[in-house]
Structure 1
Amino acid sequence: MDLRKVIYKITYPNGKIYVGQDRTDSANYFGSAKSSQFLKDFSQAERDNFTVRKQVIWSSTTATNEELNRKEVELIIETGANDPKIGYNLKPKFKAV
């Protein structure tokens, strides 16, 4: 069986998103967004009872790691996950128009 590589979208209770990749399609991996960003957006009480949604938005069993990296950047930009008003991705750097 070929290993499936995925691009996922995490949606947090405030509606903000994080887009990331997982080269092992792990069901219990929820990304690597910076914790410091959440401290600004959620109170301690909110962090004590926290629900997120993880959606696979792209997958492949044949993509190279380079193709996966390109697709991740494409989907970060497409979803706006790098816009601080919309998401938690820090790269690629958001450029307001």
Structure 2
Amino acid sequence: MFKVIYKITYPNGKIYIGKDLTDTLNYFGSANSKLIEMDFTREQRKNFTIRKEILFESENITDQEINKKEVELIFEFQSNNPEVGYNKWPRFNIKALGK
């Protein structure tokens, strides 16, 4: 069975990076729905398309290794930066960006 790390892209361009240890086609992660809903009007929510991309997959990886890879990709894509994405963990540190 494949273990995958995916990127969800919402219509506003913000992203969410997550993992799926069962490679389920219709699994779209556990992003905070209330947080996402705040970025869209009622009208925008009536016709809503998101994109799911597999960034990494492996049949021969431990849960510990996939967890580490997920964090690496969250940092790489900065999806924990509230201006970029919806990942709440690991906590975003603006000082790490030198700002």
Q: Per the shorter chain, which TM-score range?
A: over 0.9
Offset of 1:30 from its aligned partner? 0.7
Structure 2's unaligned 5+ residue stretches are none
Structure 1's unaligned 5+ residue stretches are none
CA shift digits 1:4-28 (9 cap, x unpaired): 0000000000000000000011110
Aligned partner of 2:33 in structure 1 is 35
Offset of 1:39 from its aligned partner? 2.2
Identity %: 54
CA shift digits 1:20-72 (9 cap, x unpaired): 00001111011111011122100111112110000000000000000010000
| TM score, norm. by length of structure 2 | 0.93
Query: How far apart are the structure 1 equivalents of 2:38 and 2:47?
Result: 16
Compare 42-51 and 16-25 and name the one that shifted more: 42-51
Query: How far apart are the structure 1 equivalents of 2:45 and 2:21?
Result: 28
Matches within 5 A, 1:80-95: 80-95=78-93
How many positions carry a matched residue from both structures? 95
Query: How far apart are the structure 2 equivalents of 1:18 and 1:32?
Result: 9
Aligned structure 1 segments of 4 or more residues deviating by more than 2 angstroms: none
Query: How far apart are the structure 2 equivalents of 1:52 and 1:91?
Result: 21
What RMSD over aligned residues (CA atoms) do the two structures have, in Å? 0.6
Query: How far apart are the structure 2 equivalents of 1:79 and 1:67?
Result: 18
